[in-house]
């Protein structure tokens, strides 16, 4: 009997690694699979990731950060730059595990005149300086537009982007010219409701993630008003 086609060992290792990382994300409650989910865009999909839950388990985050740090260990890194506060915990874990002992800073995302904008706070500008080696960290890379802006900003400051590390990259995203390492590289199909194969099979639609945004409010408390 002739042996079946052998898979490339590197590809197998990547596949196994991704499975492990997906299991970790499932354990945090961040990753939902085999579902029929309504997205905020109105489209339907089979998988969903809740960004805010991704780094709620410190030991998992430390483990995932160490994997990214190990990948970039051969490169000297002066600064780990988080794309925003959302990826900051992961950035800390990457920096902690990187042999260069880099500092950690973060950018801020916003909109200006309907266009995306990224900013590095004034306090951090002395750390991202000419010839600094910068590793960018993002949690989920969905379109890559924030990262592209941040790469431009770092280069405008005269620093060098050594690469991009992220938890999850949608495979449709290309970031040309920079090495990108993602723990999970995975795209999931999104469907217009009228073309959705799950709707056609009458699988119940999970509207929880969208409904929750409208129906539930975050827990909060406010300082009482001063008596007049």
Binding site for Zn ion (CB under 5 A): 44, 196, 198-199
DSSP SS3 for 116: strand
Distance, CA of 67 to CA of 21 (rounded, Å): 10
| Residues listed for the chain | 228
Nearer to Zn ion among residue 116 and residue 211 (C-beta): 211
Of 202, 155, 148, give the one whose Cα is nearest residue 173: 148
CB 193 → Zn ion: shortest distance, Å?
6
Nearer to Zn ion among residue 77 and residue 198 (C-beta): 198
CB 45 → Zn ion: shortest distance, Å?
8
When CB distances to Zn ion are compared, the closest residue is 196
CB 29 → Zn ion: shortest distance, Å?
23
Nearer to Zn ion among residue 38 and residue 153 (C-beta): 38
Nearer to Zn ion among residue 45 and residue 132 (C-beta): 45
Long-range CB contacts for residues 23-29, cutoff 8 Å, separation at least 24:
24/60, 24/63, 24/64, 25/49, 25/54, 25/167, 25/168, 25/184, 27/57, 27/60, 28/53, 28/54, 28/55, 28/56, 28/57, 28/60, 29/53, 29/56
CB 38 → Zn ion: shortest distance, Å?
8
Distance, CA of 159 to CA of 200 (rounded, Å): 52
Nearer to Zn ion among residue 34 and residue 52 (C-beta): 34
CB 25 → Zn ion: shortest distance, Å?
23
Nearer to Zn ion among residue 66 and residue 199 (C-beta): 199
Q: What are phi and psi of 69, to 5 degrees?
A: -60, -40
Nearer to Zn ion among residue 36 and residue 98 (C-beta): 36
CB 37 → Zn ion: shortest distance, Å?
9
CB 192 → Zn ion: shortest distance, Å?
9
Distance, CA of 57 to CA of 205 (rounded, Å): 29
Of 202, 211, 194, 154, give the one whose Cα is nearest residue 177: 154
| Alpha helices for 48-200 (secondary structure H) | 58-71, 88-97, 145-156, 197-200
């Amino acid at each position: 009997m002739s042996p079946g086609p052998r898979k490339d060992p590197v590809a197998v290792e990547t596949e196994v690694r991704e499975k492990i990382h997906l299991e970790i994300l499932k354990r945090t409650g961040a990753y939902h699979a085999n579902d029929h989910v309504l997205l905020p865009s109105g489209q339907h999909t089979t998988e969903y990731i809740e960004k805010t839950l991704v780094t709620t388990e410190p030991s998992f985050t430390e483990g995932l950060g160490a994997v990214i740090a190990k990948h970039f260990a051969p490169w000297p890194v002066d600064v780990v730059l988080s794309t925003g506060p959302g990826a900051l915990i992961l950035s800390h874990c990457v920096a902690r595990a990187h042999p260069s002992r880099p500092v950690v800073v973060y950018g801020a995302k916003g909109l200006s005149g309907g266009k995306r904008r990224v900013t590095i706070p004034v306090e951090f500008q002395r750390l991202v300086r000419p010839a600094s080696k910068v590793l960018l960290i993002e949690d989920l890379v969905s379109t890559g537009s924030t990262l592209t802006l941040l790469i431009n900003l770092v280069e405008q400051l005269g620093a060098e982007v050594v690469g991009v590390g992220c938890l999850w990259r949608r495979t449709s995203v290309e970031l040309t010219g920079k090495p990108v390492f993602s723990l999970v590289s995975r795209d999931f199909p999104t469907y217009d409701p009228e073309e959705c194969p799950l709707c056609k099979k009458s699988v119940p639609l999970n509207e929880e993630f969208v409904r929750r945004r409208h129906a539930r409010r975050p827990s909060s408390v406010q300082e009482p008003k001063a008596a007049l």
